Structure 1
Amino acid sequence: MNQSKKSWHQYWLALKYYKSPAIAIFLSTIILAITAALKIERTYTVNSIIQLESPNQEIIDALGQEEADKSNNSENIEPETSETGEISEEPAANLPKQVFEQVQATDNGLEDLDYNQFAENLEIKNDSLSDTIEITYSGKDIDSSKLVVNSLIESYREQQAQTEISNVEKIKDKVNQQLTVADKNATEIANKLKALLTKYDRNILESKPDYLTNKIKELEEKIAAAKSKIKEVDDEIAGLKTKLGLNLSPNAIAGEVSDSPEQQQLLEKLQEVETQLIIEGARFNSQSPVIINLEAEKAKLEAQIKDQNIATQQYVSVNQNNNSIAENTEKLVGYEAEKKSLSAKVASWEIDKARYQKDNAIAPEVQQQYQELVSKNKRAKEKYNKLLTKAQQLDIFSEDNIAQIKIITPPQVKKSLASWNKEIIAASGVGLGFMLAFVAVLILEKRNPTLKNIAEIGEVGNSKVLGEIPNLRKSDFHISHRCDPVDPERFVLEAPYSVACESYKIVYDNLAQISSNQVIKTITVTSSNTAEGKSTFIANLAALTTQLGKKVLIIDTNLHTPKQKAIWRIDNNLGLTDILKKDVEFDNVVQAPSLNLNVITAGSMVEDYLSLWQSESMKEFMLHVREKYDLILLDTSAVDLSTDILNISQFTDGIILVGRIGFTNPHKLLEAQELIKASNQELLGIVVNDKFKS
């Protein structure tokens, strides 16, 4: 709230400062408003917005831009054109003229107009993005203006209906043609994909990692194991043949096992079934009917071979009439059968291995072909389904929902300028003049580079704001039992119970909080520029501190423009420079204008004053006063005038910068802060001076 009031006060001051351009803008606006009021004629503006609800663009987009690009230019779907070559979806060139003749024939206020005047009063705006048409007509008669707009709406409706009927039929033909092509294309791709799946294992086509390598490795392991087993069987057969050598000829057993036509036929069938089982097992799972049937046939053949072996064993047993010979013969027959079975499996596995190795060599090419066919098949199906959907929509599309026109804004009178009388327009000019004048003042004020509020001062260098001192004048302070105004340079001393004193109490409290963490007895007070109120701030802060029972010393080190002598109405015959030159004693220079308050003025001007600030005398002097007083305030020159502060502040505990609203330049304030930081001095904070009253 305070910030708002402060800002309006600033604007009021700025308005007074820029009153000449503000008055000029204000008067110019009023003159223009009065001139406009005198020239107003009775005019009615009728406006309406309609939307052409056409399915054409949506259906054409559904055909796909890619397909449209591939199609022959002569076959692309185009909106119907008129005999003159103009696209009929756009307003025909002769449509306004037809409406003009139609309305003029009704004798409704257009008799005095020719077509050129009618065209100037008519405005038609087309928005291709939203398919809307805005119709605006301005005329002197409200009924004739409405009639023009309504007639144009009806003309658009009839024109759109004729165009849509033709366009929908053309779209139907195009969609049906493309649907036939898409169906044929999808069928061809599907057949190619099916043939590839029939020829090759799905696992190979789908690029399963290491599938063929693992299969070859698995077959190699099976072949190696089978060959090892055959070797073991051969050893057993050789041993049994040795045992039976005296009782049975070497070819007897082999003849019994292998020379039998039935046995040979069963072994060959078993080998074929096992080979087919390996091949189909790579394509189907164990629950597939094909695998189940092959397994059943294999079990049947193995049972028949076993029965043949038993019959042979019985035959050998009867003819030998020797239990030992029968037993060995039975084993020999079993080993021979096992050897033949293993040999058949090895042969089958070798065939499979060769096939897998061949497939592995051509796998990348086949896989690429398969992936391309899968991708083409997917796109072909999507395109076919999309076209089929559009074809179905077109089949049920009727003439009733073709070329519908949606009236977004019905014909209505937007504004009748005749209803604006001259008094209202002139009053509006006054209001507009005030607003333009105020905006001009704001622009001029923005061009002022000085800091205009507390927040801006605090943001420069991100420094802490210790307090805000109000903008004070002598007429602002009166004590109830006195008629004399209070001097703002010493108002804390002369009016200690005034509300304005609270601002100095806030500064004092903030300094006290800083003092709780470190000892602060000596403070240098400066500003980035002259006339920012640092001397007045020092005087009132010192007066407030003395009211708290503390002893305060003010030292005026500003040899260029000393202010403390005028504030406290004391002489400057002897001062700080005289003490440092050791011309006089401290007690002979210090002055006491108030209780608990001592002031040392700047003293006589010396040429080489910089050597005084760096002398041992200055150091001894500061140590001396530090022991005698609770608070010491040093009034220095502004930073932009001299670098005294860099020499003086080395004897103090910190520095306070004083900034003035509407006066302090942000660049100079920032330079002052950077200079203080570069000298390794502590900046306690910023005091904002001349805060506008809330």
Structure 2
Amino acid sequence: MNLLELNVPQKIRQQEDSNPLIGLLTTLRRQWLPATIVFVGVFGISAYLASRQKPLYEASGELIFKVDRAARLTGIGDEEKKQTNLQTEARVILSAPVVELAVKSLDPAFKDIDITDGLSVIPSPDTNILKVSYQSENPKEPAEVVNALMKSYIANDLQANQAESVTARKFILSQLPNVEKDLVDSELALRRFKEKNRVTALAQESSSSIGVVIGTDKQITDLKAQISNLEASIRAMRSRLGISTNQATLLSTLSASEPVKQTFAELQKVEQQLAVQSTQYSDGHPIIKRLKRQQTTLQTLLQQRVAEVIGGGKSINSKDLQVGGLDLALMSDLVKSEINRSGLQQQLDTLERSLNTYSDRLRVIPKLEQEQQSLERKIAVNRITYESLLKRLQEVQLVENQKVSNARVLSSAVEPTQPIASKLKSNLMMSGLLGLAVAIATAIALQSMDTLLRTTDDLERAFDSYPLLGVLPKFGRKWVGRQDAIVCAEPGSQISETYRMLQTKLEFLNANCPLKVILITSSVPSEGKSTVSANLAAIAAQLGKHVLLIDTDMRHPSQHAIWDIPHGLGLTDLLAGQTPEGSVIHTVIPNLNLLLAGKLPSNTLSLSLLKSQRMSALMEKWADIYDYVILDTPPLLPVADAMVLSKQADGVLIVARPELLSSPDASVAKKLLDKSDINVLGLVANGATPRVYYKYRHYAPTESSKKLKRLKPS
């Protein structure tokens, strides 16, 4: 609800938390004195040292570097050499050998001077030029140092180049024989490989072999088709003749022999005569006998003629010789077909052997190519290495014989006539920036070591889970009325309005169950809890509420001083049963009764009295009689009295004072409250200096406004 909003606007707090610049300004405001002292000290010392500086003289020279070294002059060398690394060369110029060589060439007075302090070597952008500069209080020294340094660098570079060339030449000469031997060995290995595997050009061989294989395979297919046709024709002719091919061959051969034909004709003639005569004569007849003798003689002669034609060991029935002209032509065709088939079969066998030979070669060629390529790669690598070493040897010998540096003097240094521009203004500016930086760092360091909660915002962050119910301003002691009971002396003042707002917020915290017993405490002593208790009780009484204010701080009671009442009997006497209730309760203003702490008991006795049944009974009684019972208790951290009494209160109000309460104490107090399951109503910032309060102080009545001038924050 709106009544629970803080007295400081929420937007201002959010800006201060989120804006680091506001946080820095706050830190500087808090630590302004040490920060100012540090700034003045650092700036003063720096300005004094800057004003004491003597004028400096500066001389500069330039060195230009070649893209290549001697190779650019000779035309021999890599075309892709990179430009000289100017940053590296700048470090070389500032190296100890070059500086020592330059110092040796200078006046002996330079031996005790470290010239590197005034030296600077800067590369010129987008060029191969180095600018060498030297500053000194003596106008004659800069030019001498710069020129000597550039000469010593060139001399050192020549010496380094020659030394590198000699070392490179020796190394190359030591490697050349080995590389040459590797090249010869690899070439010899390739030659042996070709001789062993009968290799000339594997790529061409592979291509031609593939063509041969394809052609041979086609020929084989054609021959197989022809043979198949001939075999079918041969089978048909055999079936018709009823003889084998061999028999057909023999008969065909005999049919072509004239002696066999004549003898066979004579035999047939005798056999015909014998057949005719056998019908007329008996077997014993001389004619029959003569014809049989002729038949036998002719058969024998026929077999002889057959043997002469077809060779010995083969015989043929004379009946088989009785072949007609048609059968004889068919037998001739059969013999020819068989001869053709045999010839084609031989061609087929030859082609298949050739095909197998080429196929086997083709299967070996990939492996041979791999081996050949491996050998050729070795030869190529060895040849490149060998040729590269020869080329490098020539380059190194040329560089070794030439006295050319990779840099030359573009412009020599000239003795300056005027000192360089004074840097007093820039030094003073740098001194101011340095002082400001150190001052800010000092303020931040001091602030980080400061554990006190300085502002209301710090209090809110420390007690982040509790609402801030009010911000009570800081005021002085010189005002009219009783000490610290300002609401009684100035009921119309803005401070009194602040307490009224606090009391109103407490009423609205729980409208369904009004607060009756309110315990007011703090984390540590001196945070103003007793003052807040007294003024809050007085405001409630002024608003017509019947209020009982009880001082339960038995060790350091203060309500008697606030209300200017003698310290006498009080709560301890009442709890001990030593005095009646009516004799210890005082009416300080209308509607406000006060119960003092009483005699000071021991710590153990005070805690036992507060935890007694008598105390509980009295609290229940007073809660029924009064509208408000306000308990002014001891702080949380030193003693346990507040924690014991909190069990009998409807709520606890925490009073915290900026610049008194530390962050660790606030953290411990908050943890103690959170773990005790206590109803914490909220937080009251006491003794703060909120801008909002003084912004609206003109709204107070005229007389009160005049008196408020005396209540300005101390």
Does residue 315 (structure 1) correspond to residue 234 (structure 2)? The answer is: yes
Aligned counterparts, 1:11-26, within 5 A: 11=31
1:623 to 613, 620, 626: 620
Kept after mapping to 1: 8 A contact 2:132/2:146: no
**Structure 1 residue aligned with 2:56, among 44, 64, 83?**
44
The TM-score with structure 2 as length reference comes to 0.50
Q: 1:491 to 1:127 in 2, by over 3 A?
A: farther
Instruction: From the CA coordinates, give the structure whose radius of gyration is larger.
Output: 2
CA shift for structure 1 position 643: 1.1
Distance 1:591 1:181 in 2: 123
User: Does the Cα contact within 8 Å between 1:654 and 1:684 map onto a contact in 2?
Assistant: yes
Superposition deviation, residue 155 in structure 1: 2.9
CA distance in 1, matches of 2:539, 2:383: 92
In the alignment, structure 1 residue 661 sits paired with structure 2 residue 658: yes
Distance 1:622 1:376, change over 3 A: farther
Q: Secondary structure at the match of 2:31?
A: helix
Residue aligning to 1:490: 486
Show the counterpart of 1:10.
Answer: 30
Alignment partner of 1:535 out of 512, 530, 533: 530
Q: What is the 5 A alignment of 1:445-456?
A: 449-453=451-455
The whole-number CA distance in structure 2 between the counterparts of 1:8 and 1:684 is 34
Pick closer, same or farther for the CA change 1:473–1:497 going to 2, 3 Å.
closer
Q: Which residue of 1 aligns with 2:116?
A: 123
- Following superposition, the deviation at residue 558 of structure 1 comes to 1.0
> 1:525 touches 1:534 (CA, 8 Å); kept in 2?
yes
Question: C-alpha displacement at 1:318, in angstroms?
Answer: 2.2
Q: 1:651 aligns with which of 648, 651, 672?
A: 648
Read off the aligned partner of 1:138 and give its amino acid letter: S
CA 1:290–1:147: 2 relative to 1, 3 Å: same
Distance in 1 between residues matched to 2:165 and 2:511, nearest whole Å: 92
Deviation at 1:614, TM superposition (A): 1.7
Query: CA separation of 1:499/1:566 partners in 2, compared to 1, >3 Å: closer, same or farther?
Result: closer
Q: 1:672 to 1:166 in 2, by over 3 A?
A: same
Report the TM-score when normalising by structure 1: 0.51
1:151 aligns with 2:147: yes
Cα distance between partner residues in 1 of 2:658 and 2:381: 73
- Trace 1:251-290 onto structure 2 (pairs within 5 A): none
- Aligned counterpart, 2:137: 139
C-alpha change, 1:377 and 1:574, in structure 2 (3 Å) is farther
User: Any conservation in 1 of the 2:467–2:683 contact (CA below 8 Å)?
Assistant: yes
Match of 1:93, SS state, is helix
1:77-92 residue pairs with structure 2 within 5 A? 90-91=97-98
Structure 2 residue corresponding to 1:472, chosen from 464, 474, 491: 474
Q: Identify unmatched segments of 5+ residues in structure 1.
A: 60-78, 80-85, 101-114, 199-283, 324-332, 360-366, 478-482
> Cα distance 1:588–1:540, how it changes in 2: closer, same or farther (>3 A)?
closer
Alignment-mate amino acid for residue 475 of structure 2: R
Answer whether contact 1:524 1:633 (CA < 8 A) is retained: yes
| CA positional deviation for 1:403 | 1.9
User: Could you tell me whether the CA contact under 8 Å between 2:143 and 2:415 is conserved in 1?
Assistant: no
| Aligned residue in 1 for 2:248 | none
Q: Which piece of structure 1 moves more, 557-566 or 1-10?
A: 1-10
Distance across 2 between alignment mates of 1:499 and 1:419: 58
Amino acid at match of 2:31: Y
Compared with structure 1, are the counterparts of its residues 184 and 575 closer, same or farther at alpha carbon in structure 2 (3 Å cutoff)? farther
Corresponding letter in the other structure for 2:561? A
Gaps (5+ residues) in structure 2?
A: 1-15, 17-21, 72-87, 124-128, 195-202, 243-340, 692-714
Equivalent residue, structure 2, for 1:526: 521
Q: CA deviation at 1:391?
A: 12
Q: Which moved more, 1:675-684 or 1:164-173?
A: 164-173
Task: Report the residue type matching 1:120 in the other structure.
Answer: I
8 Å CA contact 1:467, 1:503 repeated in 2: no
Q: Deviations over 1:598-650 (max 9, x none)?
A: 54433444452323322233333333444566655432112343211221111
Among all aligned residue pairs of Structure 1 and Structure 2, give the percentage whose two residues are the same amino acid.
19
Partner residue in 1 for 2:257: none
Kept in 1, the 8 Å contact 2:572–2:609? The answer is yes
CA RMSD in angstroms comes to 7.1
Query: Any idea what SS the aligned residue of 1:662 has?
Result: coil
Task: Say if 2:500 and 2:539, in contact at 8 Å, map to a contact too.
Answer: yes
Which residue number corresponds to residue 596 of structure 2? 601
Cα deviation code 1:58-110 (max 9, x no counterpart): x9xxxxxxxxxxxxxxxxxxx9xxxxxx999941524234354xxxxxxxxxx
Query: Structure 1 116/616 Cα, relative in aligned 2: closer, same or farther at 3 Å?
Result: same
CA–CA separation in structure 1 for the residues paired with 2:523 and 2:34: 24
Q: 1:403 aligns with which of 382, 391, 407?
A: 407
Tell me, in whole angstroms, the C-alpha distance in 2 between the residues paired with 1:469 and 1:435: 35
Contact kept? 2:586, 2:594, Cα under 8 Å:
yes
Residues 36 and 129 of structure 1: CA distance in aligned 2, closer, same or farther (over 3 Å): closer
In structure 1, distance between residues paired with 2:489 and 2:539: 7
| Cα distance in 2 for residues equivalent to 1:661 and 1:51 | 68
CA shift, 1:316, in A, is 0.8
* One-letter amino acid of the structure 2 residue matched with residue 46 of structure 1: E
Q: How far apart, CA to CA, are the structure 2 residues paired with 1:55 and 1:194? A: 43
Q: How far apart, in 2, do the equivalents of 1:667 and 1:157 lie?
A: 65
Where do residues 494-513 of structure 1 align in structure 2 (5 Å cutoff)?
Answer: 494=490, 498=494, 505=501
Query: Judging changes above 3 Å, is the alpha-carbon distance between structure 1 residues 91 and 28 closer, same or farther for their aligned structure 2 residues?
Result: closer
* Amino acid of the structure 2 residue aligned with 1:123: T
Residue in structure 2 matched with residue 558 of structure 1 by the alignment: 553
SS class of match (1:524): strand
Whole-angstrom CA distance in 1 between matches of 2:175 and 2:521: 89
Inter-CA distance 176–5: structure 2 relative to 1 (3 Å threshold) = closer
Q: Is the 1:48–1:411 Cα contact (8 Å) retained in structure 2? A: no
In the alignment, the residues of structure 1 paired with residue 494 and residue 656 of structure 2 have an alpha-carbon distance, to the nearest angstrom, of 23
Q: Match for 1:116: what amino acid?
A: A
Do the aligned partners of 1:467 and 1:504 also contact (CA within 8 Å) in 2? no
Asked if structure 1 preserves the Cα contact closer than 8 Å seen for 2:610 and 2:644, the reply is: yes
